[in-house]
Chains A and B, each alone.
Chain A
């Protein structure tokens, strides 16, 4: 029962999209937003809880100052104004995984507001900068997690029972909300993706979050609406949740644009609702309709005092901001002497940070880039995961580059090492050892293989002796075969020619 979709080119011919993006970021503080509980990902359920984050009667929240600092850093990095006085507010609604049945959040008094983020997108006319304006950056607490058991869908409806894990309840969340983003035209899906990617890079450079989309430490709600070209009338938006990768951000926006357009073409209305994105099919399905949306009955949180960041402290924080990722990119592009297109391909593949780390660990920049953009990106793509999550670390790549440079691995062997690392066989040295992938560099062993090859193809050997160096290829092939590809072909060639008096 998938809905009708209009061809993308037709969508753009008839309609103009407006984007809106809400990103939730889990901060990587050691303790929760309003209590001292640990925040380790993947711990046994309900082991990182206390009376406060369980919402026990009588318990009270107290603010994690580190979380406020991180939020202000995010605001500053996004060119926001920082409030001199703001408050938390209660957002009231009932849900089993929300211990107090209200979430401590911020409502009309966010700590950061009125910022922007410039993102670069490759267009038909080269790289173009789109400015995404930021409405607000505010603090709140995460909810627990529900696991709905026994149902067909994994959703609460139809489940036999549900399990609740409150480890996540109270983990600091920062919500970053854009203003409406008009004028992106056919690049809307790319702008959305570039925005989330750029935001992720900034958050990573600030060191305030793990920004892992698949673990939920960075979550994106992608909103889009269409208006008939030239009408100037803003369309009804849908809000797509469960968008768990950069690629999904792009796909979800594109799919929603196609769905909206098909409805509008058929004279149907777009319903203002929450949609769920499905990674497998690339389409969205309807969630709850906003028409039955709850009234959250916001009011100022009476258990917490207002926050009034000292402007001098804010300036101190501003002074600690790291180099902006866009500035870093410009500098690296110059240092590495690469073209716009190469830089763009790295950014698109989401590998810039890991390439930088790999280079920082001593690897040659060209080699580092080629591994991440090439082999590793290909493998990640095959598996449908982000490059940085495929299981290879910058340290791994740096080591592999080193081993190749030392002549211990050939490029071909090195690719097998990458396979092994991805397969979970350990770090590169472990894979080399267990798979026995080391280049045969022992001259004795190579000379033996060369002697055997000369004996088995005396004709070729004679040609080489006679000065026909092209004939060496057949002999080298024999040696490589005998060493199961683990010899360095250049070295074999060198030894062979020497042996044959050349």
Chain B
């Protein structure tokens, strides 16, 4: 039953074929069985999850109307606060902290009867592309346990690929939903900036962060997107407009006449051969489905990475200033003799990992008096140029496509000492965050050379998230037909037996 899609599980619960409690228990058992190997979870809230599940069962018994995903379990990235449940952001500095409030996304999930299983592993404060930067050890890719599951949301995607959860919440600042989805053979969506409330999402880079749905199918992602999306008065940057019709779009399975742009700058040099091969095949599939394929150029995308690595660290240097041992989390060296300033220093020294420190220092420097215009100011100008590139492209086409990530999952430890190589993983995903529009990664096959999943990225204009689902849904259906079932059927069982 754990291999079903979330929509199937929800239907079974609604029809009384299975209780949410049994469904939740099945996933908790799976976690108990395989998470030692995968390490997708930092905290499993079995008691809380079962209580939520029973509440859904009671509501159903009373004949109450259930939401489309009621009773279905979900894994929550540990960067999202849930009242009373430990939230660490993968950092030692928040070890033991239990937030006093729910994120808006969590409130919406609870109201929809979605059962939150626990908190998933991530690169510390969402800074990384491999989940190796977690202070609590790396997550392993269920397709090959010696490989990374992507990052920063490796825990969320791995939990889907390991069938520990059918749904997950991720956050995407430069690709942290899409790149893990790509390397784990799952679906991940970065909604339009402002499409999902950031209230309760522990900020890394406020102008780039966006929470979004992760699932094994396009329709499941759409159902989840519809629940978590929408305006929130507690997030001033959230957009006051209805959620685009993503569920309808996911069910359309028709791209006839749609103009699809292939971004010339996202491909070629630096991309793994098998990734490009599967991508090019996908382009042909889309053409075969009646889409019009047009090559477009986005000349300023080459400046996206440097601009990102000025803007994101700048904002993070300020956002992470609040971790100072005063009100929550870790406190080091408070011997009643040291000053508050010394305790702050010792705590931040001990509590933050090397990548977080690197970015705080980068950002502090970039914002310094005398450097602001050259760094942060210039980066914001690049951002405008990238937005212009997208605007020009979307004047010609309805959506853009590219490989999600230049490579398939690499080995744990392979790029750990080379930050620049690590940063290049997000070369195709970062422009979307800088411009604030939306994108999806869906599996498009296994790379011939290593047998690992390859992701295809679909990009749409701001508030046209439904287009992602229309293209993703159509492509997914075509692939499933060609492959004789979902790609996930080919994933290892992790238990030695048959899944």
Q: A: which residues have CB within 8 A of B?
A: 51, 54-63, 90, 92, 94, 96, 99-102, 156, 160-162, 164, 295, 297-299, 302-305
Contacts and interface: CB of A to CB of B under 8 A. Distances in A.
A101 B340 CA distance: 13
Nearest to A61: B236
B65 interface: no
Given A99-B327, A302-B207, A58 B80 contact: yes
Contacts of A56: 81, 99-101, 327-328
A387 B401 CA distance: 73
B198 A62 contact: no
Interface string B195-224: 000111111011100000000000000000
B491 to A, nearest CB: 33
Contacts, number: 107
Contacts of B321: 92, 94, 100-102
A295 B206 contact: no
A59 B206 CA distance: 11
B369 A57 contact: no
A18 B234 CA distance: 45
B376 interface: yes
Contacts of A298: 367, 372
A57 B202 contact: yes
Given A60-B199, A299-B376, A302-B206, A101 B322 contact: yes
Contacts of A102: 318, 321
A57 B198 contact: no
B202 A303 contact: no
Given A161-B336, A302-B315, A58 B327 contact: no
B314 interface: yes
Interface string B304-332: 00000000001101100111101110000
Contacts of B89: 57
A57 B236 contact: no
Interface centre among B81, B201, B340, B368 (most CB of A within 10 A): B340
Given A51-B101, A304-B236, A162 B322 contact: no
A192 to B, nearest CB: 30
Contacts of A99: 322, 326-327
A94 B344 contact: yes
Nearest to B344: A94
Contacts of B101: 51, 56, 58-59
A59 B103 CA distance: 8
- Classify the interface of chain A: helix, strand, loop or mixed: loop
A58 B202 contact: yes
Contact of A305 (B237, B317, B322, B368): B237
B422 interface: no
A58 B336 contact: no
B94 interface: yes
A164 B199 contact: no
Most buried by A among B201, B321, B328: B321
B87 interface: yes
A96 B326 contact: yes
Nearest to B197: A60
B383 to A, nearest CB: 12
Interface string B114-143: 000000000000000000000000000000
Nearest to B87: A57
A35 B193 CA distance: 22
Given A51-B101, A56-B100, A297-B364, A164 B236 contact: no
24 contacts: A51-B100, A57-B97, A57-B202, A57-B323, A58-B80, A58-B87, A58-B202, A60-B198, A60-B199, A60-B234, A62-B233, A62-B234, A62-B235, A63-B236, A96-B344, A99-B322, A102-B321, A164-B326, A297-B369, A297-B372, A299-B376, A302-B237, A302-B315, A303-B203
Interface of B: 80-81, 87, 89, 94, 97, 99-101, 103, 198-203, 205-207, 233-237, 314-315, 317-318, 321-324, 326-328, 336, 339-341, 344, 364, 367-369, 372, 376
Nearest to B80: A58
A228 B483 CA distance: 89
Given A96-B326, A96-B340, A101-B322, 11 more contacts: A57-B94, A57-B202, A58-B80, A58-B201, A92-B367, A99-B322, A162-B340, A297-B369, A297-B372, A302-B205, A302-B315
Contacts of A96: 324, 326, 340, 344
Given A92-B321, A305-B236, A299 B326 contact: no
Contacts of A58: 80-81, 87, 99, 101, 103, 199-203
Shortest 9 CB-CB distances between A and B: which pairs?
Answer: A101-B321, A302-B206, A297-B367, A302-B207, A57-B202, A58-B200, A58-B81, A295-B369, A58-B202
A59 B200 contact: yes
Nearest to B201: A58
B375 to A, nearest CB: 11
A55 B326 CA distance: 11
Contacts of A302: 205-207, 237, 315
Nearest to A90: B318
A57 B206 contact: no
A60 B319 CA distance: 11
A303 B238 CA distance: 10
Contacts of B344: 94, 96
Contacts of B203: 57-58, 303
Contacts of B206: 302-303
A298 B200 CA distance: 24
A384 B97 CA distance: 49
A60 B235 contact: yes
A94 B324 contact: yes
B307 to A, nearest CB: 14
Contacts of A160: 336
A447 B202 CA distance: 85
B340 A297 contact: no
A54 B344 CA distance: 17
A94 B321 CA distance: 8
B452 to A, nearest CB: 34
A62 B344 CA distance: 28
Contacts of B233: 62
A54 B100 CA distance: 11
A299 B372 CA distance: 9
B327 A60 contact: no
A418 to B, nearest CB: 47
B292 to A, nearest CB: 37
A305 B194 CA distance: 11
